[in-house]
Amino acid sequence: MPAESIFPDFVLGHPRHHKNRVRDVPLRKKPKERPPTGIRDKVPLYGKLPHYTGPYEVGIIDLEVPAKKPDTFSDIKRHGVHALVLETVLMTIYYPAHLNAKYDVPSSALGQRHRPTWLSQPRDLTSRGYGYFAGLPEHLMIAWLFSTVWYTKLPAYKNARIAEHWPPFGEGCTNHRKDESREGQPPANKPHMPKFPLIIFSHGLGGTRTCYSSVCGEFASHGFVVVALEHRDGSGPGTLVTHPKPGSGSQHLDGHIGESNRTKTDNKRSYDKVEFLFAANDPHDTTPGHQIDHDLRNAQVDLRLAEIEEAYQIMLEICAGDGEKVGTRHLRVKPAKGASKAGLQGVDWSSWKDRFYTNGVTMVGHSFGATTTIEVLRQKDRFKYFTQGIIYDVWGLPVRPTAEERENRIRAPLLGINSEAFMYWKDNFEVAQNVTREAMETGHPAWLMTIRGTVHISQSDFCILYPHLADWLMKMTIDPIRAIDLNIDASLEFLARVIPKEVQDAQAFLRRMGNKKMLDSPVLTELPTEHEPNKRWMAVRLKIKHEGRKRLIPGARKRYWEQITKSGESEAWLHISPNEGPDMARCKTCGVPRWDDIDRSTERC
């Protein structure tokens, strides 16, 4: 049981994060105000996930659908069978929900609409997977997760109706739930119901379709439809692949998949388990100083790209009004293992017809998902519908060769947001800089920035659920909810600038844009080193000088942050911008921004 569930603030010695109070951070900014939590969010054994700041309530739909093009990827095997196989696509759709979604329940249901758990179903499999991923005994990990987040609920409502109203104008939300119950006036000469932009999200190593719910839900609350994939490439803690019944897309009829990837035991089960896949030669290839297993990582990216294609085709069907057909192919229905008790009950597929854009799509990813995002943006002929991308704390070492070494280059606007811990990993940060410049060299705006005081998991839900571990073990200094707010603010500002006009015109999220201009901040000429860790802890944690004194002596801690405030430093550092930069110049011949390959005397390539 988390201590903050039962002890008041004066016992803990610090404020509980779900009260929207914040530890000291640069400029002493607080997280945005959010609607108040209900009784369910205060019950012991529940972790705390904050409500979203946008004007919409958030709905959520889980889908597992057979792949139209099942296939194997590479000859990599584990236990004598192919490790990378595409058979089904599993995803969670986060979207703006109808007014009063909490109480808009089907006639056959009673009470409030169902909220899904944060831990993916089946929770015991996911828990064992996290133990295997972290190198800890399974029973200890299950006990830990059971006592902290086993009953944690997402602040989103299962199968709620998609929103049909425009939000009111105004920045942010109040701390009253009535703010989500207000409607705004439709824009002149526009449809009565808004049409939402589409985002596809790719998780990192150890991720699932729900462990980035804060980011995905925030986008949805501001007026985006977000498809969060659960990759079956061995990058998650553990997932189930439900076998389709014999028919189109089934392994039972696909000889080369069935014979190579199924055992006699597998054929008796209605599902397969996909566990975390370590590199064969170096299981620590994700950490600095180790050699990347490029064969494995390239094959995983190829599988991820195929899953993204399949997910997009599913969304095309839903947007075209064929959601009912998609629903009939859904595999996770009772009594299937891992099926939700709500299933697809109450989903009104007819209301989804032509309610989101299938062009001008944004690709977003974190860590290894950011690696995937880069590859999607490079393969423009294959993924024509993606017009911009956001990479959160990219794991750069598996990124395939850049610039002149690749025939395909990034030809889309790009925003990169790093954690401070990953910024100090020089080899990795160099890749982040190279891919940002790659986008600019093809004539597209690109930014690269760092959120101060953050660590690699700050863009996931883990820092919110375990703020004390992130604070004491990883030395994160920023409030975890504030870190999410900054990431979303920068992302929305980026999308407001680069989304194609036919998609952006009169968009709902533009009504809530503030006056903050994070992307117009001055560009740093030198990398900061104030929290650079020792080599042993590179990319894992930050280093806080005189940490004991700052934690235990209130006066010293206060003076430390007052000095930062007086110096005028902000919560984010901007490294690369299309507006300015120490190494940027524009070629007079072709007009394309250039860096090292420009002749400064002639200002030509």
Give the per-residue SS3 of 458-472.
Answer: HHCCHHHHCHHHHHH
pLDDT at 569: 73
DSSP for 37-88, please give it: P-GGGGSTT----PPP-SSSEEEEEEEEEEEEEEEE-SS-EETTEES-EEEE
Question: What is the band of 554 on the pLDDT scale with cuts at 50, 70, 90?
Answer: low
- Mean pLDDT, residues 439-456: 94
Question: Which has the closest alpha carbon to 591: 581, 604, 576, 600?
Answer: 604
Helices (H), 253-341: 255-261, 264-268, 294-319, 323-329
Check: CB of residue 215 under 8 Å from CB of residue 96.
Answer: no
pLDDT band of 162, cuts 50, 70, 90: very high
**Peptide bond just before 106 cis, omega within 30 deg:** no
| pLDDT tens, residue by residue, 448-506 | 999 998 999 999 999 999 988 888 899 988 889 999 999 999 999 999 999 998 887 66
Whole-number pLDDT of residue 341:
80
pLDDT above 70: residue 44: no
Q: How far apart are CA 399 and CA 375, in angstroms?
A: 8
Give dist(CA 109, CA 111) in Å, integer: 7
**Which pLDDT belongs to residue 568?**
64
pLDDT at position 143 is 93
354 pLDDT more than 90: yes
Helix (H, G, I), strand (E, B) or coil at 35: coil
pLDDT at 109 over 60: no
Q: In which band, very low, low, confident or very high, does the pLDDT at 271 lie, cut at 50, 70 and 90?
A: confident
Cα 176 to its chain centre, rounded Å, is: 27
Q: Does 122 sit behind a cis peptide bond, omega within 30 degrees of 0 on the bond before it?
A: yes
Residue 556 pLDDT grade (very low, low, confident, very high; cuts 50, 70, 90): low
DSSP string, 378-440: H-TTT-TTEEEEEEES---TTSPP-GGG-SS---S-EEEEEEHHHHT-HHHHHHHHHHHHHHH
| pLDDT above 70 (res 257) | no
Radius of gyration of the chain (CA): 24
Question: What secondary structure, in 3-state letters, does 238-266 show?
Answer: EEEEECCCCCCCCCCCCHHHHHHHCCHHH
CA gap 375, 410 in Å, rounded? 8
Provide the residue ranges of all domains of the chain, joining segments of one domain with +.
3-594
Count the alpha carbons within 13 Å of 280 in the hemisphere toward its beta carbon. 8
Nearest Cα neighbor of 48 from 71, 80, 16, 26 is 16
**What's the mean pLDDT in 249-257?**
42
261-264 LR contacts (CB < 8 Å, sep 24+): 261/72, 261/81, 261/82, 261/85, 262/81, 263/80, 263/81
Chain centroid to Cα 190, Å, comes to 31
Residue 204 and residue 313: Cα distance in Å, rounded? Answer: 22
* pLDDT at res. 437: 94
Measured distance CA(180)–CA(395) in Å, rounded: 37
Q: What is the structure's pLDDT at 32?
A: 72
- Read off the pTM: 0.86
- Give the confidence band of 43 by pLDDT, cuts at 50, 70, 90: low
CB 4 within 8 A of CB 12: yes
Would you say 519 and 574 are in contact if contact means Cβ atoms under 8 Å apart? yes
Regarding predicted confidence, which is higher, 394 or 43?
394
Per-residue pLDDT tens over the stretch 361-398: 999 999 999 999 999 999 999 999 999 999 999 999 99
pLDDT at position 83: 85
In the predicted model, is pLDDT for residue 121 greater than 60? yes
Question: Do 527 and 499 touch, CB atoms closer than 8 A?
Answer: no
Q: Is the pLDDT of residue 100 over 60?
A: yes
Whether the predicted pLDDT of 539 surpasses 80? yes
Matching CATH number, 3-594, of 3.40.50.11540, 3.40.50.1000, 3.40.50.1820, 3.50.50.60: 3.40.50.1820
**Is residue 600 predicted with pLDDT exceeding 90?**
no
- Residue 228 — φ and ψ, nearest 5°? -100, 110
